Every structure is written in C-alpha cells, then in structure tokens.
Structure 1
Amino acid sequence: MTSLPSSISRRAGDGYRSAAQLRRDLATRRPFVPTATLGGALSAAGPLVVCMAAAVVGWFLIDAGGHGEPSDALRVGASGWLLGHGSGIGVDGVRITAIPLGLTLLCAWVVWRVGHRVGESLSGHGPDADRIADGERDWTVPLASALFAAGYVIVASLTASAVASLSSAPSLPRVIGASLLLSLGVGGPAIARGSGRAAIWVPALPSSLRAALALARTILVWWFAVAALALAIALVLDFSTAANVVSQLGAGAGDTVVIALLTALVLPNAVLFSSSYLLGPGFTVGTGTLVTPGLVVLGPLPMFPLLAALPSGGPGAEWTSWLMLSPVLVAAAAAARWQHRNPASRWDEAALRGCGGGILAGVLLGLLTLLAGGAVGPGRMRDVGPFASDVVLHSMTAFGIGGLAGALLMVWFQARGGRLRARLASVRGRLPGRR
C-alpha cells in the first residue's frame, strides 16, 4: 500500500534531497487531471480492445472470415463489452438483456488495478498524513475518482454511440449507470487504497462495522466456493449430456473454442443460479419453469452445454431438501473461524459481529443475484434467472442465524478453553518443583 509522503519530504525549502526522494516525488505527484482522466479511459478501453480482438479471432475460427467483414466482428466485440455493462442488445429482433458477469468481473478487475496505480501516482497531491491527522480536509480521492469516472463514461458513451443502430439499440442510460458504478464503486476504493488514504480512513470506522464487513466478505467467498462446487459436481455427474450437446451442434475445433469462451463468460451467472438453488428459492429457465430442491419443472431448452447441470424434472429427491442447511453451516463455519482469528472479549460483541456480518452478506448476495438473470432469447427465454427477492430473504435469514450461532459457539469454546488453561496452570503451580 502506498504511504503518504511525510511533511518533511514535502517541503520545498528543506534544501538538498536525495535522488530516491526526487524519484518518489515524481512517481507520486504526476499531473492530477490528465492522470486521473486517462486512467479511467484506459480502464474502459483495455477490456474493450480485448473483446474486439477476441471477436475477430472468433470470426476467423468459425468460418475463416468467409462471411462478413472485420468491422462486423469488431462491432460484435464492442457490443459484447457493452452487454457486460448491462446495455442490452437486439439480435434479429430479439432483445437480449442478460449480463455476462464474467465479462463484468474482468472489467471490474481492470478498473481496480488501474485505479490502484492512479492512486499511487497521485498520492503526493493534497495534504500529507500529518495534516490530515490534524483535521485538514483532503479532496484528492473524491476529485480523482470523479475524473476517473468521467474518463470511463466518455469511452463507454462513445462506444455505445458507435455501435448503436436500429436493430441493436444498446441502452445508453444503463451503460452510463454501470460505468459510474464500476468507476466509482470499484475505482474509487482502489484510488483510496493506492494513495494511502484508505489506511487513514478505515481505522476511523467503528470496529463493529469493520468486523461485520470483513465477516460478510468471508461468508460470501466461502458461499460462492460451495455454490461453484455444487455446479461442478452437477456438471461432472451429467458430463455426457454436455458432450452430446456439443456433438449435436456439429461444432468444429474453432466453434468449440468459441462455445467454451461463451461458457466461461456466464460461469459467474451459473454460480449465482446454483446459489439460489441451494438457498431454496431456486430459479427459472423460461416462462413457466421452476428449478428448486423440492420441485423441478422444465420445458424445451436451448442447446447450451452448461444447461446439462440442471436436475431432472419432477419432485426432488428426499435428500435435496437438506441442501438448504448449507448456507447456515457455511455462515457458522466462517463466523467461527473469524472469531477464532479475531477474538471478541464479550458475548454481545461476538453476537453483533456474527449476526451483522451474516445479514450484510445476505443483502450483498441478493444485490448480486439481481444481475444474474435476464432475457436470453425469444418467447419463453425472456424469463431466465434466480428469484432475487426471495434470495435476499432466505440468505439474510440463513447467513444471519449461521453467523450468530458460529460466533457464539466459538466464544463459548474460547471461554471454556481459557478456564481449562487456568485450571491446568493452577495444578502445575501446586506440583513439587514448580514453586
């Protein structure tokens, strides 16, 4: 993490400065407006160029460039990048609104990395650590985040305008909204961390809030790992169906590569579908369908290999109802581990940590689940996705109860272990030779 320059190294009248100090000043005091604005533009342009290059490569792999023009492939790549920002797009009169979250995660990762570098480059601007500690206001991060977001939004808006047509018609407001969410929600914290301001601001937050946030992150990471494992097991158990789908598509080597890439882009969506299934509410894969642990109702499905993970239609097996205990167990295990590593001295503090972290994890999971579905085709396929509102209620309840139980159980074990160690120490003190 970048630390703020001290007041001693920042004063111009201190006389001679070493070459290392000069290099540090140059690295942390780059031009403010160009650095922040270009950083936002580059964080948007990087994944955009990757998407367009991948589209051109896929165009050659599928038919060796026999149909269409390179400009068409570039337009497809740019449209895919916009789709990752929730723009929606029209294809042959069919509106596609589902977001490939794998692409969104790639964009978020690039924004974080570039934002962190921008923060490092601008860390020398504004008041130093001593002056901030004295109460001086520091606008470095807010201003840099605003300029960063402006650069990102400009690239996104120009891309949407260039791709827009009567048939595709990406939604510019949704692109701008997603761009602001990424650049401010991800880029802003990255700039704060890279500039060293986060190291000053975070300790000022209430300890209970910091603990709840950290526990919520742990619960979500563990839960996504469990949901991904469940998805992988379902695919392995019915791998022959996925292979049969690929063979029926008559896909060659190039087509198979493109299908694998598309599957990777929607894997985060599939993990959220798996999460909703394990929580109980389930999801729909078309109008009039339902996939839950207790009941599975399916209709005609598109030929996509990832759909091989769907369970067979009909009432669920008796054991599947026990899957709904998994979120409680995951939250309890995560809270117990957190309490073990960060002991709370009081029962009420541990309860607040566990329950608050679990509820917060449930809210965040519900917000992410909102992004997992959408229209993926005509007719029935306009209604595909988890039941996000039910996921919020189920996850808040399950994670909250599990977090509370796990934290309190670990406090009990720690208290019991402390009393046992005290008794052992007392016994050792009475033994001959211990005095």
Structure 2
Amino acid sequence: MRMPRFRDSERLRLTTSSTRTVRLAGAPEGPPLLPWPVAAVGGGALAALAGVVLVAGVVLVAWLSAIAIALPTVLGFAAQVWLLAHGGVLVIGDVGVSLVPLGLTVAFVLLCMPVGRFAYRQGRLARTGEVGPRENLVLVAGSVAQVAIGYTLVAAALAWGFEGPALVWRPAWGAFAVSVLGGGIGAYRASGYRPWASWPAWLRGGLRGAAAGGLGLVVVSSLALAVAVVAGEAGISTLEQAVGFDAGGVFVWALVTLAYLPTALGWALSWLLGAGFTVGTGSLVSLSGTQLGMLPSIPLFGALPTAGVADAWMLAWLSAGVAAGAVAGVVAARGARRGGQGTLGSAAAAGLLVGIGFLGWAAASRGALGSLRLVDLGPRLWESLLIGVPLLLLSAVLAGLVAWLVRRRLPAS
C-alpha cells in the first residue's frame, strides 16, 4: 500500500533566524574598560579640564583682537572665568566680578553627565551577576562621589593658584555641586534605578507638578525678558555702538550674553513675582517702580525700565508668576482620582518645591560686577522668600483644589 507524501516541507524544516546572543537583564556586558576609581575620579578631573579648554577657546578668539597680551595671562584669565562659573571671583585689574554666568554653569553640568554614566557602567561591569536595588544605589552613590572628588580637586587646585587659599572654598563648593548634579543625573539614568515607584501617590504627583511649574517659571521669565529687550532695543543698540565691537568681539559678546542669559532670567523672574532686583547699591527695579544710579556700559542694561513710579498696569505682570504656580498645582492634581487631602498634599508639595527652586535660582543669580556701587546685584532674597515663595505655594494649592473640584463634578454633569 502506497503511503501518502507530505508536500508541505515547511513543517519539517528547521531554520535559524538569527545568530544574535540575547543577554539576560542585569548581566554584565564584559570586562570594564578601566577600574572603577580610575574611570570615576579621572573622568571627573578630565571633565573639569575639558571645561577649562572650552572657555580658553572662546577667550583665545577675543585674544586675536588684543594679541599684545601675553598668552599665559590669557590662559590664566580663562581659568578664572571657569572658576567664576563655579562661584569664584574673576579679578580684572583691581575689580572683582562675582556675578555667576549660570549658562556656563549649566554647560558644565551637561559635561559631567556622560562622565557619571561612564563611571557607573565601569563600576557595574566590575560586578558579575545580578545587582539588587541596594547594591545599585551604592554603585550610583559611589560613582557620583568619585566623579565629584576628581572634579572638585581640579577646581581647588586652580582656585589655590589664581585666587589664593582664602577663596578656595567658593569655587570648590560650586564645583562639588556641579559635579554631583551632572554626575548624579548621568549615573542615575544609566542605572535604571527608579525609586519613586514605591513613593506615595501624592508625593509623585507633587514632583510632576514641580517639574511643570519649573518649566512655567522659565517660560514666563523668558517672556518678560523678551518684552524688556524689545522695549529697550534703542538703548541696547546705543550701548553696543558705544562699546564698538569688532567681528571677534561680536562673537565673544554673543557667547557672554548666552552665558548670562539664565542669570538675567533669574532677575526677570524675581521682578515678576514682586520681589524685584537691584543693579547696585541704592538701586531698585520692581513692579511698583524703578530707581537707578550710575550703571556700566553693559548693553543688556539698556533693557532696564526708566526710573520713576511704574504704571498701575505693570502689576498685571504678577499674574504671570501666579500662572506658573497654578500650572504646578493643576499638574499635581492630575492622575489617579484621590481625595481632597491627597490633592492638597500634592499641590502643596509642588508649590513648595517650585518656591524653593525659585529661591535657589534667585540666590545663584546674585553677585557683583565691581566695587562700591556695583555690589549686591540681583534678586532681593528676603523679598523673594517673603513674597515670591508664598505666592507660588498659594497659587499652586488653590489651582490644585479647583482642578480637583472640577474633575469631581465632571462625571455628574
């Protein structure tokens, strides 16, 4: 008897779709490229030196217009500018500048992020097998600490050489904060560690609201600064013509302006929230009025309002600061349906965190551009604490409760 033949040969065919090896989650990829301490401490030191080289490149462009200055002097000036971005003092002749270019500081934070990520990966590759949450946290903390050691040692050495032993602590603490922030973000993202999953819902909502509120502060301060620049365009142009930049000077001045942009935004934000700011001893710029004295020929100062009592409609700008706090409260109230107490806790946490962020921003935006009248420039801190922080907190709480009440009534309508 003849047996039937199977014509569908695909049923019996064995194929290999890929030669790729699938790695189990948590298993190391291979041996580390460098020992963990070398990668972390050395990476932190290299990140600091890379920042110095970056600043030196910009300074050398300006040096082409004044090539008679000795090159070692120019390089020393670049090192002092790097220290200034970390809270140091830039000495120009007999004048000390301590107003921090926060844009440059942010750039150095970004420079430390890949270093923190690399340091964590080298530490992780040195450990075989799975890593639990506690060991993962130790790896993150150890990576950040070692990156901060390397970065801070370079800052302390430069400050010791250019500013003297008495002023080492200022840029050293600033460098420590920059490296911890940048290295921490990099190591944290590389680790995949997500501790907030076990946090209370109201606290997670508060963190989301704080992030949204912080973004709102950036938006409203940028809007206020843009309006001021447009309104003062004539004064800015006059001051730029008086300085008389050449082609290289225009390029360098544009970079300096970008470096001080976050600092200027901090001033604008303090003005929006009613605290105001000073541009020297005996001066004040606020929503209620402006009082100015002698100012240096800095083009951005052309955007300052004219002296005198402000119009009543200027107080309407206060609503922009309130709107940033309200955004924080509304975002904090979103998510899972919680009771009134949970919503209140989330909104209050968001408003408080945004207020603390604003206060830190205002403190970092203060400094001096010289001596005598040009000291104590920037946002007024006590007024920021007593006016700005409560305003953000109250607006976040009220907006969060309103959002919760509206959401409660929506299903019934």
- Structure 2 SS opposite 1:122: helix
* Structure 2 counterpart of 1:34: 38
* Structure 2 counterpart of 1:363: 356
Contact kept? 1:366, 1:389, Cα under 8 Å: no
* Structure 2 counterpart of 1:57: 61
* Structure 2 counterpart of 1:413: 406
* Structure 1 counterpart of 2:182: 186
Q: Report the Cα distance in structure 2 between the residues aligned to 1:307 and 1:343, rounded to whole angstroms.
A: 48
Letter of the 1:155 partner, please give it: V
1:138–1:365: structure 2 CA closer, same or farther, 3 Å change rule? closer
Contact kept? 1:87, 1:170, Cα under 8 Å: no
* Structure 2 counterpart of 1:148: 147
Q: Report the Cα distance in structure 1 between the residues aligned to 2:189 and 2:31, rounded to whole angstroms.
A: 16
Contact kept? 1:121, 1:195, Cα under 8 Å: no
Does residue 204 in structure 1 map to residue 201 in structure 2? no
Per-residue deviation, residues 367-397 of structure 1 (Å, max 9, x unmatched): 1211111110132002211102221232221
Contact kept? 1:52, 1:78, Cα under 8 Å: yes
* Structure 2 counterpart of 1:428: none
Q: Which of residues 168, 174, 177 is equivalent to 1:172?
A: 168
Does residue 107 in structure 1 map to residue 131 in structure 2? no
* Structure 2 counterpart of 1:300: 294
TM-score normalised according to structure 2 size: 0.88
Q: Report the Cα distance in structure 2 between the residues aligned to 1:180 and 1:170, rounded to whole angstroms.
A: 18
Contact kept? 2:274, 2:318, Cα under 8 Å: yes
Q: Report the Cα distance in structure 1 between the residues aligned to 2:299 and 2:135, rounded to whole angstroms.
A: 58
Q: Report the Cα distance in structure 2 between the residues aligned to 1:215 and 1:330, rounded to whole angstroms.
A: 10
Per-residue deviation, residues 304-354 of structure 1 (Å, max 9, x unmatched): 1111221110001110122223222222134224434x2432121111111
Q: Report the Cα distance in structure 2 between the residues aligned to 1:380 and 1:79, rounded to whole angstroms.
A: 23
* Structure 2 counterpart of 1:11: none
Q: Report the Cα distance in structure 2 between the residues aligned to 1:55 and 1:29, rounded to whole angstroms.
A: 35
* Structure 1 counterpart of 2:210: 216
- Structure 2 SS opposite 1:385: strand
Q: Report the Cα distance in structure 2 between the residues aligned to 1:281 and 1:114, rounded to whole angstroms.
A: 38
Does residue 246 in structure 1 map to residue 245 in structure 2? no
1:343–1:409: structure 2 CA closer, same or farther, 3 Å change rule? farther
Does residue 376 in structure 1 map to residue 377 in structure 2? no
* Structure 1 counterpart of 2:14: none
More deviation in 78-87 or 179-188?
Answer: 179-188
TM-score normalised according to structure 1 size: 0.84
TM superposition shift of 1:19: 5.8
Q: Report the Cα distance in structure 1 between the residues aligned to 2:403 and 2:154, rounded to whole angstroms.
A: 50
Residue correspondences, number: 393
* Structure 1 counterpart of 2:283: 289
- Structure 2 SS opposite 1:26: coil
Letter of the 1:325 partner, please give it: S
* Structure 1 counterpart of 2:138: 139
Map 1:81-92 to 2 at 5 A: 81-92=82-93
| Gapped regions of structure 1 (runs ≥ 5) | 1-16, 421-435
TM superposition shift of 1:164: 4.2
Q: Report the Cα distance in structure 2 between the residues aligned to 1:94 and 1:234, rounded to whole angstroms.
A: 29
- Structure 1 SS opposite 2:124: coil
Q: Report the Cα distance in structure 2 between the residues aligned to 1:123 and 1:211, rounded to whole angstroms.
A: 31
Letter of the 2:132 partner, please give it: I
* Structure 2 counterpart of 1:398: 391
1:202–1:118: structure 2 CA closer, same or farther, 3 Å change rule? farther
TM superposition shift of 1:283: 0.7
Q: Report the Cα distance in structure 1 between the residues aligned to 2:233 and 2:219, rounded to whole angstroms.
A: 20
| Gapped regions of structure 2 (runs ≥ 5) | 1-18
CA-based RMSD of the aligned residues comes to 2.5
Contact kept? 2:205, 2:331, Cα under 8 Å: no
Letter of the 1:277 partner, please give it: W
1:240–1:347: structure 2 CA closer, same or farther, 3 Å change rule? same
Question: What percent of counterpart residues are identical?
Answer: 26
- Structure 2 SS opposite 1:139: helix
More deviation in 282-291 or 187-196?
Answer: 187-196
Contact kept? 2:214, 2:324, Cα under 8 Å: no
1:127–1:26: structure 2 CA closer, same or farther, 3 Å change rule? closer
1:368–1:31: structure 2 CA closer, same or farther, 3 Å change rule? same
1:214–1:39: structure 2 CA closer, same or farther, 3 Å change rule? farther
* Structure 2 counterpart of 1:228: 222
TM superposition shift of 1:35: 1.4
Q: Which of residues 242, 260, 265 is equivalent to 2:254?
A: 260
TM superposition shift of 1:240: 1.5
Letter of the 1:195 partner, please give it: S
1:230–1:320: structure 2 CA closer, same or farther, 3 Å change rule? same
TM superposition shift of 1:250: 2.1
